[in-house]
Amino acid sequence: MKRIFLAAWAALFCVAAGCAHAQVTEPFPSRLITVVVPFPAGGTADLLARLVAEQIRPLLGQTVIIENKPGASGNLGMEGVARSAPDGYTLINAPQLSFSVNHLLNPNLRFDPRALEPVSVLATYPTVIFARADLPANSLADVIAYAKANPGKLTYGSQGRGQIGHLTMEALRLRAGLDILHVPYRGSAPAINDLLAGQIDILADNMLAGMQHVRSGKLKLIAVGGKERLKAFPNVATFAETLPEYYSDTWMAIAAPSGTPKDVTRKLSDAIAKALQNPELRRRIEDLQAEPFGSTPEQMAGLIRESNARWAPVIEQANIRSE
């Protein structure tokens, strides 16, 4: 009886060990993948995530869903992902600043965004400067001249404190030695509305936010923050054509919890890169005034370092903190 009892336990142990081994060696992915977007549905982060998820589902052989978790300027969703299991099944899709300078803008974070594992940059898009239609300035040089001739009178809006529009204009203020007034909003829509109404003078944002109003003549496009002029607006100069080495852009990227295996992040990155070669997907992303990318994890890590080097000094000199 004793031998039978021990044999039974040995058999159970082997089965359990075999099951555990099967779980460890189970190929990735073997179940549903969730991409968290830490902002409301309908924005650029949400749209890009949904477009890419649609294309990588057949490449990975698993369902990929988008889950919107807005709150705390995107940090609610990011914290949830940062605390998730490092297995590649819960990911975050967020903009550049969330990965590069979030810890500087929000020193009381309960997680370290720098510890997230880079996966892939989906797309990049330049920051642009819009102006009210009747502002007596048609270029960045004109805006600088107007601000210097009218100290303390030029007002600029942003999507909120610590957002890319705020950092962009503070960089301009510091570089050109301007006395201008910041008017923060909660998102692009109210800022655009007040710019259209003439309540503020200029606004730094992405092209999609105000393109229809530029085309209708209700707003002016003053300058472009990328390294090249926009194909759709070739007559509009870049920031750097007026102030050398002055750039501002945004990229949207996917990351995984700290400790996610490199082979998992690589498999996800490869699938995203392959999906972004699809001509129809590229066209749809370009319609959002963005440039499809599909980086490697290493390239994304490099862009995070570059972003930190660009914006950390601005945050420090202007003493910027998120709301």
d(Cα 212, Cα 215) in Å, to the nearest integer?
A: 5
pLDDT of residue 28: 96
d(Cα 101, Cα 314) in Å, to the nearest integer?
A: 11
Digit-by-digit pLDDT tens for the chain (323 residues) are 445 444 444 445 544 444 444 445 689 999 999 999 999 898 889 999 999 999 999 999 999 999 999 999 899 999 999 999 999 999 999 999 999 999 999 999 999 999 999 999 999 999 999 999 999 999 999 999 999 999 999 999 999 999 999 999 999 999 999 999 999 998 899 999 999 999 999 999 999 899 999 999 999 999 999 999 999 999 999 999 999 999 999 999 999 999 999 999 999 999 999 999 999 999 999 988 899 999 999 999 999 999 999 999 999 999 999 87
Question: Could you tell me the sign of the dihedral formed by the alpha carbons of 308, 310, 313, 318, in that order?
Answer: negative
> 126-241, which class in CATH?
alpha beta
d(Cα 245, Cα 242) in Å, to the nearest integer?
A: 9
Q: How far apart are the first and last CA of the chain?
A: 71
- Report whether 89 contacts 29 (CB < 8 A): yes
Measure Cα distances from 187 to 113, 190, 206, 253, 268 in Å. Answer: 22, 6, 12, 20, 31
- Report whether 265 contacts 256 (CB < 8 A): yes
d(Cα 77, Cα 36) in Å, to the nearest integer?
A: 7
**What's the pTM?**
0.88
Q: Where are the domains of the chain?
A: 33-125+250-318, 126-241
Q: Do domains 33-125+250-318 and 126-241 have the same CATH topology?
A: yes
- Cβ neighbors of 291 (< 8 A, separation 6 or more) are 123, 124, 125, 285
pLDDT of residue 289: 87
Task: Please tell me whether residue 49 adopts helix, strand or coil conformation.
Answer: helix
> 33-125+250-318, which class in CATH?
alpha beta
